[in-house]
Chain A
Amino acid sequence: MGKFKDLFVKRHTEFSPFYRWHHWIRFFSIIFLIISGFYIAYPFLSPEVDPNPTGFLYAKGRTFHEIAGFIMISMFIGKMYYFFFVKSDRDEMRSFKDLFSVKKWMKQIGYYLLISKHPVLSGAYNVLQLVAYLALYLMLTFLIITGLILYMHVYHDSFLAFLNTPLTYLEVMFGGLASVREIHHVLTWGIIVFIIAHVYMSVFNAIYGKEGTIDSIVSGYKWEIPESEK
């Protein structure tokens, strides 16, 4: 194998089946939400001017945006439950410990600046990663709330009727429906930037950190060189 030496590597489970499934369902729903969202904001596709009834393209775009939205919300709720209540997932919680360590911060930034070794982590995520994820969840929360407020004025019954009072309160707090719509749009850009950075970081860590972790989100496994082999 040329300059590579043969190593004995340990396989351990990095992501549970739930974690992987939720990740990919969420990924595809978010991608669809972004594309259909931009279409709703500015309908770049229009049918030819035609006197006959058309396929109701815009209404369909909105419908599927809403469906994808509810899929995304259910994944959000599922992941929240997983994060707070599932015992085998305590690793995520443990990451918070590192937030208060200046050394871990310095080392982590140093690692990304390619000048120091990766710090040993207390939990699943490093500090920068954790802060990025917290920002993601904050953005998602506001996207969900603003999305529901916008949906409330399209569909008035059942679940949305139940949420009407609190959502109306929030609508006024955001400064009216137009502001709600604007916040929804601006936060989407935050999500786009997050996705790009997230994918790059995963690839970077998998290659540069020699952990092959890009597979783990599909297979669930992570490959590690045991201490005895180093």
Chain B
Amino acid sequence: MEQEKLYQSLSDRLGKLSKFPRMKDDGKSIASLLEEHGFSRRDFMKWAASMTALLALPASFTPLMAQAAELTDRLPVIWLHMAECTGCSESLLRSDAPTIDSLIFDYISLEYHETLMAAAGWQAEETLESSIKKYKGRYVLMVEGGIPSGESSFYLTVGPKGQTGESHAKEAADNALAIFAIGTCSSFGGVQAAAPNPTNAQPLHKVTQKPVINVPGCPPSEKNIVGNVLQYILFGTLPALDAYNRPKWAYGKRIHDQCERRGHFDAGEFVQEFGDEGAKKGYCLYKVGCKGPYTFNNCSRERFNQHTSWPVQAGHGCIGCSEPDFWDKMGPFESPLADRLYHSVFRGLGADATADKIGATILTVTALGIAAHAAISVIKKPKE
């Protein structure tokens, strides 16, 4: 019953949405565009079924998903680059062949994307301004990269007008319908916000007052990026979120929970060093630094590059890239978390000190103190 109700409400919503005009007037429907690029209807439906499963919806919702994908030309997306490496864009674009995801995204809904667009300079600035104006309150904003803010905002100066990235992001966010922070940098600050954070890079949610959905990962998989757009078209609401504002459908479970090497973890079968017998047999990578047990993401289920592979499958542990402050907290990346180094300020003393090393040192000092105290107390008589 519940399922039928949900189906009906989503179906109604899509029906209403389809009455809106397309953003572009050249009249090409998504169906015809896909056909033009060599995707059969069958390919498209297969893709829609996998996206339905990704969002944890019942298989019977596949037609709705297909319909939602065909309606993406009603929802403009503005994509901003802040202080970043463009890895998130790469993740979305660099699949082995143009995929349905990237087709929908690049050709249809993206109104502004600095890496993809042909425009430059004044032209580009004009495109951004006019799309914000034209679609005011109706576009989805996706931001990639950390944002140098406050007095350090000049570290990111963009465009012919020499505006700071911060002011760009603020303005775009103020007029957006929904805001997604794509990647760890715009979600949590990422690598450039790692200690000592020289440019005072901040996550997007620190720069705007509006609710921001975080889609972290370095990079997030293309499915998690597109999935958020489709989810928004389908439901018209923001998804269920975890404590860090990450959509639960993607970040609800740990890497560890669905890892293909999990059986070896429980069996106590570990890779002792890279290239050993255990590594050849696909044993657990915990002892060579896998941070999967502390990382919430769906890599172990969705993988990357059209489900081809992912770090753990390739033989290196997870580095926890979708967690807040991962650069500071998850290192060293190739040994367990217990080996974390505490950088002391005592002229570099104990720069290689782990918790166990510090603990053992304190314990030794305690033992020495006890021995000395015991020895003296044998000689010295108690006061009566």
Contacts and interface: CB of A to CB of B under 8 A. Distances in A.
B337 interface: yes
A190 to B, nearest CB: 8
Given A43-B268, A47-B269, A182 B373 contact: no
The size class of the interface chain A forms with chain B is 35 or more
B380 interface: yes
Interface stretch (B19-27, B132-140, B194-202, B320-328): B320-328
Contacts of B356: 189
A42 B257 CA distance: 19
A56 B272 contact: no
Given A41-B336, A200-B374, A186 B355 contact: yes
A175 B362 CA distance: 26
B366 A176 contact: no
Interface in B285-308: 286-287, 291, 293-296
A208 B272 contact: no
A58 B268 contact: yes
B243 A172 contact: yes
Interface residues of B, number: 51
Contact of A178 (B277, B337, B377, B382): B337
A159 interface: no
B59 interface: no
Interface of B: 242-244, 254, 257, 265-270, 272, 277-278, 281, 283, 286-287, 291, 293-296, 320, 323-326, 329-330, 336-338, 340, 355-356, 358-359, 362-363, 366-367, 370, 373-374, 376-377, 380, 382-384
Interface string A91-106: 0000000000000000
Interface string A171-194: 110011111011001101100110
Contacts of B340: 182
Given A56-B267, A178-B323, A49 B329 contact: no
Given A41-B338, A57-B267, A189-B355, A46 B272 contact: yes
Contacts of A178: 291, 294, 320, 323, 326, 329-330, 337
